[in-house]
Chains A and B, each alone.
Chain A
Amino acid sequence: MVDAKQTVTEIVARADALYHDLEFGAVKRWKETHPGGKVIGCLPTYAPRELAHAAGMLPVYLRGAGDQVEIIRGDAYFQSYICQLPRGMIELALSGRLDSFDGFLFPAICDVIRNLSGIWQLHFPDKLARYLDIPQNFDVEVGGRFYAEELRRLLTDFEQLSGQKVSDDALRHSIGVYNTHRRVIQNLMDLRSEKPWLVPADETYLVLRAGDVLPVEEHIEMIKQYLQSVVELERPMRDHSRVVVSGAFCEQPPLGLIRTLERAGCYIVWDDMTISARFIAGDVSTSGDPCVALARAFIEQGVESASVYSCKKKKGSELCETVRKAGAQGVIFAAPSFCDPALLDQPMLQTALDQESIPWTAFKYAENLGQFQVIREQAGTFSDSIRLWGA
């Protein structure tokens, strides 16, 4: 019998190596084993990866340069009041680290990503640089129809890039594969809220981030193995507070910051750091027109996020619901500095929490932040206040 501890150690080590590899060795290896295969880099927050998968491509989420690369060229493109992620993207591209990518998808999140897509078109004319519009109207007959058409146009672009015609059956198969992916991720999230001491925040984060670069089938197996092994471990249960982390859906916090929050006495029982793969809650229909099914799922099953304009529900109601479902005792708003969507939504979310007497604290970060002492003090004090002075 394979030792569970060893399995978990190996999985996490592999995920850690993928996380730290900004040369994208996994992408290069995929291309070697898939001659002629195309790779599409997807910016946050949500990309319909099913389309790329059906076209025989490898969709890879790109989330900036993190805290590993010194930004020199990237800074020349953006004013000081712009977030860090696009600088990291430019730095990666200009330093040749993204040469193995054949195209890039820029989902509509904010003006910065929109402008980045323009910069990309000017600088890398030989690569596909596709801006993906998402609906602002959440009526299936209006926004849904628009988005289904947008998905069809995107699929045509992917077909041209890959040189592979995509049948409806092939797309339905890909939707099925991603449905499985969503289910195993949900299983991991469920374990996280039930027994957070078994799945430390940094470990879960790395395992989920591995899905940014791995083929989806491989990532499904990785999560399954991790789940199977981690429940066998004897990890100590601590008297920590249980918190939800919100606002980190695009530019990612450094790994050190995630560790800091847990070391400060907080079990992160839910977060939106890796929301990309969880953006559609539940299965997407595998019958009928697959583009319509994907569009419908986005409209009807898309999670609340500041990166999407939505008037489906009162702002913050879904966050309050998440807090309740995850059994959290408070919310930590961790947003990247200068992130317009996150920081503009934050007051509305905080008001919603206040109305339900859910405690919260807030701080900002950048992906290349190196000092966590102040955040540690803030998170630690927040955790103490929840446990000692909360209801």
Chain B
Amino acid sequence: MILTCGIDVGSSAVKAAIIKSHPGSGRAREGAELVATHVERIRRRDQRHVIRAVYDGVLEAAGLTESDIHYVATTGEGELVDFRTGHFYGMTAHARGALFLEPQTRAVLDVGALHARAISMDADSKVVGYRMTSQCASGSGQFLENIARYLGVTLEEVGALSLEGDRPEKVSGICAVLAETDVINMVSRGISLPNILRGIHESMANRLAKLVRKLELDDGIVLVTGGLANDIGLVHATRAALVEHGIDSRVETHPLSVAAGAIGSALWGGYRYERLSPDTKQAA
């Protein structure tokens, strides 16, 4: 049995997952089991400290020790993980993790703290195309977090509140600064929280739908991953936006979508472990 740990170092959270897979199960890692996941937000803490805490946390959740792990695979800002064996680029890891969580996935919408990207993939999770948001943060989690803070709600409350909105207010979808100004104006005009949040979600969803449209997908599920994957308001708005843009693919999320990058890198770690030279295996 091969035990691998994936660590996804994002700009606002560190996610870890431990995967158990069978030797000889190739890229598909058929029969692989997710043993444990652990996620912590970085807040204002030292990133290396958080990484260590997350690694310890996932090991504890799995009832394992460091020496049980055959391969530590990173994604995101992986160079901060001194004990890593190998690193996988974000798109490669998210595509693999998404396929594990939802086998019908053919595209991923990775919505992180600083950017969003749409990734198309084949049935083996090989990345075949991608589109990213530009440098502006208005389609990102950091923007949503800032807005939530201004409005005095937690990120966890945002999704449910947004679903209550019945007359969403339009927000700038181009510039985070303009969008924040829009929100301040809305508050002073007495617009309700749900309608403000729903307006923001619709604006973000519109940007995400444009990314997905450029992928020219044939079929399959679009799985939302990354830090905002559990924001049900955003997922709901994205579903509607895809329909508006004439895209047939179904938008889904998964309770473990936030950890998709970590899961994906752990799965790739298992595949790579079997292909390592004996020296590298020993060092790992």
Interface residues of A (CB under 8 A from B): 236-240, 263-265, 377, 380-381, 383-384, 387-389
- CB atoms of A381 and B86 under 8 A apart: no
CA distance A264 to B276 in the complex (A): 18
B216 within 8 A of A: no
CA distance A380 to B94 in the complex (A): 14
- CB atoms of A265 and B283 under 8 A apart: no
A-contact 0/1 string along B17-60, CB 8 Å cutoff: 00000000001000000000000000000000000000000000
B201 within 8 A of A: no
Residues of A near B143 (CB, < 8 A) are none
Please give the distance in Å from B264's CB to the nearest CB on chain A: 11
- CB atoms of A388 and B27 under 8 A apart: yes
CA distance A221 to B265 in the complex (A): 43
Residues of A near B272 (CB, < 8 A) are 239, 387-388
User: Which of B86, B126, B276, B280 makes the CB contact (< 8 A) with A389?
Assistant: B126
Nearest B-chain residue to A390, judged by Cβ: B275
Q: Work out how many contacts link A and B, with CB atoms closer than 8 A.
A: 49
Residues of B near A263 (CB, < 8 A) are 79
A–B pairs, 6, beta carbons within 8 Å: A239-B276, A239-B280, A239-B284, A384-B88, A387-B275, A388-B268
B87 within 8 A of A: yes
Residues of B near A383 (CB, < 8 A) are 89
CA distance A265 to B269 in the complex (A): 13
A-contact 0/1 string along B64-107, CB 8 Å cutoff: 00000001000000010011111111111000000000000000
Knowing A265-B86, A380-B89, A381-B89, the reply to whether A237 touches B280 (Cβ < 8 A) is yes
Knowing A388-B268, A388-B271, the reply to whether A239 touches B91 (Cβ < 8 A) is no
Please give the distance in Å from B124's CB to the nearest CB on chain A: 9
Please give the distance in Å from B275's CB to the nearest CB on chain A: 8
CA distance A381 to B129 in the complex (A): 11
Given known contacts A380-B90, A388-B92, what 16 new A-B pairs fall within 8 Å (CB)? A236-B82, A237-B283, A239-B86, A240-B86, A265-B89, A380-B89, A381-B91, A381-B92, A383-B89, A384-B89, A384-B92, A387-B272, A387-B275, A388-B27, A388-B88, A388-B268
Max chain A C-beta neighbours (<10 A), residue from B88, B90, B127:
B88
Max chain B C-beta neighbours (<10 A), residue from A239, A240, A265, A388:
A239
CA distance A240 to B271 in the complex (A): 14
Residues of A near B83 (CB, < 8 A) are 236
Please give the distance in Å from B277's CB to the nearest CB on chain A: 9
CA distance A353 to B82 in the complex (A): 34
- CB atoms of B86 and A237 under 8 A apart: no
Give the 3 A-B CB pairs with smallest separation, nearest first.
A239-B86, A380-B89, A237-B283
Residues of B near A389 (CB, < 8 A) are 126
User: Which of B86, B91, B127 makes the CB contact (< 8 A) with A238?
Assistant: B86
CA distance A239 to B81 in the complex (A): 14
Contact-residue bracket for chain B: 20 to 34
A-contact 0/1 string along B180-198, CB 8 Å cutoff: 0000000000000000000
B218 within 8 A of A: no
Residues of B near A377 (CB, < 8 A) are 89
Residues of B near A387 (CB, < 8 A) are 86, 272, 275
Nearest A-chain residue to B82, judged by Cβ: A236
CA distance A377 to B127 in the complex (A): 13
CA distance A263 to B79 in the complex (A): 6
- CB atoms of B283 and A236 under 8 A apart: yes
Knowing A237-B280, A239-B276, the reply to whether A381 touches B127 (Cβ < 8 A) is yes
Nearest B-chain residue to A377, judged by Cβ: B89
CA distance A214 to B185 in the complex (A): 64
Residues of A near B275 (CB, < 8 A) are 387
CA distance A238 to B86 in the complex (A): 6
Residues of B near A240 (CB, < 8 A) are 86-87
Residues of A near B82 (CB, < 8 A) are 236
CA distance A335 to B280 in the complex (A): 32
Please give the distance in Å from B69's CB to the nearest CB on chain A: 14
CA distance A288 to B151 in the complex (A): 85
Residues of A near B127 (CB, < 8 A) are 381
CA distance A380 to B93 in the complex (A): 11
Please give the distance in Å from A159's CB to the nearest CB on chain B: 52
- CB atoms of B89 and A238 under 8 A apart: no
- CB atoms of A264 and B84 under 8 A apart: no
Please give the distance in Å from B278's CB to the nearest CB on chain A: 11
Please give the distance in Å from A2's CB to the nearest CB on chain B: 25
CA distance A263 to B86 in the complex (A): 10
Please give the distance in Å from A292's CB to the nearest CB on chain B: 46
CA distance A263 to B126 in the complex (A): 22
CA distance A387 to B96 in the complex (A): 14
- CB atoms of A239 and B89 under 8 A apart: no
Nearest A-chain residue to B272, judged by Cβ: A239
- CB atoms of A265 and B27 under 8 A apart: no
CA distance A377 to B131 in the complex (A): 13
Please give the distance in Å from A116's CB to the nearest CB on chain B: 36
User: Which of B27, B85, B92 makes the CB contact (< 8 A) with A239?
Assistant: B85
CA distance A381 to B75 in the complex (A): 12
CA distance A389 to B83 in the complex (A): 25
Nearest A-chain residue to B132, judged by Cβ: A377
Please give the distance in Å from B283's CB to the nearest CB on chain A: 4
Residues of A near B87 (CB, < 8 A) are 238, 240, 264-265, 380
